[in-house]
Amino acid sequence: MVLFVYAIPSIPITANFCQEEFHMPETSSPFNSAPKRLQDTSRISDLGNQTFMVTFVSKPKGNGKPATLNGNGLLAGTIINREELLQTNEGRVEIRDNFGQIFRLREESTFQIELTEEGFQPVYDGFVFKFHRGKIAPMVSDGKYRTSCYDQGTPIVIIEPVDETTDKYFSFSDDSRVYEYDESGRKFTIVALDEDEEVELHYDVRNSMRTRYVAKNRQRISDKDLDRFSQQYMNDRLWI
């Protein structure tokens, strides 16, 4: 197995989010109970100085559909504002914040800054590699995988969907903790992974939050998957 690691110069990000008035969503996602409970929008936590910039957009093969932001063409250098929906479609996209976090999204993935139990956070799904370079600020938001909860402690993880009710987590750092909030806003841990471990998270949206998720098939990451990840996510040459 060969891991490709190349240094990429840091990209300064100084733009701020638009300060337009925020209107509370009328409905709530099955995977997020926050909007229907948080009524005082003046107390909602914003991202502060944290910004998210698109740093790489691939060209899809052939006549494949390229990545979009709110349905429009996406370019490297774009700042993602809250509630804007990024879709990779048949392309690949890298996103960085100004505190060293990096998100690499493969085909058929999404990224959006939206209201959660922890205020406005990056919410993503599909095929995602989340890692960081440099020192992480203690108050940086870790983000949320749409169907399978939050990641604690800026872990290095790969998350991939298995089917409509199952996601798989691959941990590359110690104590990668996956957690959620119940209907009363109380935080609870679903599973904590050690380095080089994987687990399947099964979920049933018909159940309450604390009984919705079941962790199964916890085991070490296979050499086959490690080789695949080194090519699909970790090879910097594919993301510049």
In a domain, 158, yes or no: yes
DSSP 207: S
Which of 20, 17, 11 lies closest to 54, judged by CA?
Answer: 11
In a domain, 193, yes or no: yes
In a domain, 12, yes or no: no
In a domain, 126, yes or no: yes
- Plot region of 100 (φ>0 → left; ψ -120 to 50 → alpha; else → beta): left
The reported pLDDT for the residue numbered 5 is 41
Asked whether 131 and 172 are in contact (CB, 8 A), the reply is yes
| Residue 53: C-alpha distances to residues 46, 62, 76, 93, 166 (Å) | 17, 26, 8, 11, 29
Would you say residue 211 has pLDDT above 90? yes
What's the number of domains the chain is made of?
1
In a domain, 19, yes or no: no
The residue ranking higher by pLDDT, 78 or 30, is: 78
In a domain, 46, yes or no: yes
- Plot region of 233 (φ>0 → left; ψ -120 to 50 → alpha; else → beta): alpha
Would you say residue 36 has pLDDT above 60? no
pTM: 0.81
In a domain, 217, yes or no: yes
User: How many helices and strands (H and E) does the chain possess?
Assistant: 3, 17
Q: What are the tens digits of pLDDT across the range 161-200?
A: 999 999 999 999 988 889 999 999 999 999 999 999 999 9
In a domain, 27, yes or no: no
The reported pLDDT for the residue numbered 27 is 37
Domain that holds residue 217: 34-239
Q: What are the tens digits of pLDDT across the range 126-164?
A: 999 999 987 666 556 678 898 877 876 667 999 999 999
Token pair 């903790």: residue: 177
Which DSSP string corresponds to 98-132?
Answer: TTSEEEEE-SS-EEEEEEETTEEEEEEESSEEEEE
DSSP E strands: which ranges in the chain? 52-57, 68-69, 72-73, 85-87, 93-97, 101-105, 110-116, 119-125, 128-132, 144-145, 149-152, 157-163, 166-171, 176-181, 187-193, 197-203, 213-220
The residue ranking higher by pLDDT, 138 or 106, is: 106
The reported pLDDT for the residue numbered 66 is 97
Q: What is the mean pLDDT of residues 212-227?
A: 97
Q: Using a pLDDT cut of 70, give the percent of the chain over it.
A: 75
The reported pLDDT for the residue numbered 9 is 41
The residue ranking higher by pLDDT, 42 or 59, is: 59
